[in-house]
Structure 1
């Protein structure tokens, strides 16, 4: 099995990753929203549009 982040062989303590670094990269992707399951629910779409409008109206 190869690491899904870098493609190297996995190491048992970090499976399915090869190292702590690749495990942390994967976790960071989950936490910042890089991985997401698309939704077709109209309520989710409405909520997402509202969040974008709210974020755009806030000063940075």
Structure 2
């Protein structure tokens, strides 16, 4: 029995199988739209313990 998932970009039902080279997307277009959204920082991965780079560094030694 085939497994179907929704394309994350357009919501179209697509088969999750090796035949679908763009899985979980339905097409190359939807895959590229998603990649573009990551590149434009439209998606973020929340951090449970954000750090400030300036606080973690030691002060310069003279």
Kindly indicate which of the two structures has a greater share of residues assigned to strand: 2
CA RMSD of aligned residues (A): 1.9
Which of 1 and 2 has greater Rg? 2
TM-score (norm 2): 0.59
Number of corresponding residues: 45
TM-score scaled to structure 1, two decimals? 0.61
Structure 2 unmatched ranges of 5 or more = 55-62
Structure with greater helix percent: 1
TM superposition outliers: structure 1 runs of 4+ over 4 Å:
none
